[in-house]
Amino acid sequence: MSPFHIEYTLFYIGDYPLSFIELAGSLAGLLSVYWAARANIGTWPSGLVNIFFFFLLFYQTQLYSDMFLQLFFLITTVYGWRNWAQNKTEVGSLSIGQLTASKRYQYLLILVVASLLWGLLMSKIHLLLPTLFPEAAALPYPDACIAIASILATTLLALKKWESWILWVLVDALSVWVYFYKGLYVVGVEYIVFFFIAVYGLYSWRKKVEH
């Protein structure tokens, strides 16, 4: 069996079979989020590794919104890497800004509307494209909310806005429930760690914000 299949087990944690793609994606994701919270450019190359393995993982577990999300992450990771590289200070730190009040309301409206529309689409995707998606999407609306909030958070992260971490806190909290529900326990534990890193990132970036 290919190591890129979820049933390819590296070892067991108790009775839980840990696949290669779940472990590799989780480790790369932890490293990427740790570096993001520290405003370190290393968040982007490690993010590419995370994207590759999680794309495979989420397709095989019918979390299709999360799967499509990885394609967006690929684009924003390349953009973010380039943007951060061009805007480093002499000591390698980053200037951090904030959104206006009206922009915050715009992002909130986008989050709610886009999550509902995307969730509806994902709930029907096995009917629209049965060859590519033979099984119905799992938890289409919570998964859609994770995907849309992650898109918005990544966009704000690439733009170096501290509000990105508010969205990451939301994403991580919801993700813990979704991944434990789907039996992806290592990914679920990873997102518990992500949650606390996001809280730290929120506190750290907010302190550095430029007024």
- How far apart are alpha carbons 19 and 170 in whole angstroms? 27
Predicted local confidence at residue 146, as pLDDT: 95
Count of all residues that appear for the chain in the document: 211
CB 184 within 8 A of CB 175: no
Model pLDDT, residue 91: 37
Residue 151 is encoded by which pair of tokens?
């898109």
151 vs 90, higher pLDDT: 151
Q: Rounded to an integer, what distance in angstroms lies between the CA atom of residue 211 and that of residue 209?
A: 6
Q: How confident is the model at residue 105 (pLDDT cuts 50, 70, 90)?
A: very high
- Residues 95 and 87: beta-carbon distance below 8 Å: yes
Tell me the pLDDT band of 89, cut-offs 50, 70 and 90. very low
Q: How confident is the model at residue 2 (pLDDT cuts 50, 70, 90)?
A: confident
Per-residue confidence (pLDDT) for residue 39, from 0 to 100: 74
**pLDDT tens, 152-211?**
998 898 788 999 999 999 999 999 999 999 989 988 998 998 899 889 889 888 887 755
In the predicted structure, residue 90 carries a pLDDT above the cut 70: no
Confidence of residue 94 (pLDDT cuts 50, 70, 90): low
pLDDT of residue 79: 82
Q: Is residue 58 within a helix (H) or strand (E), and if so which, with residue range?
A: helix 43-60
| Side chain identity at residue 132, one-letter code | L
94 contacts 87 by C-beta, under 8 angstroms: yes
**71, 54 in Cβ contact below 8 A?**
no
Rounded CA-CA distance 4/7 in Å is 9
Top pLDDT among 42 and 88 is at 42
Q: Using one digit for the tens of pLDDT, what is the confidence trace for 39-83?
A: 788 888 999 999 999 999 999 999 999 999 999 889 888 888 888
pTM (global) more than 0.75 = yes
**pLDDT, tens digit, 9 for 90 and up, residues 129-140:** 999 999 999 999
- Residue 35: its pLDDT value, please? 86
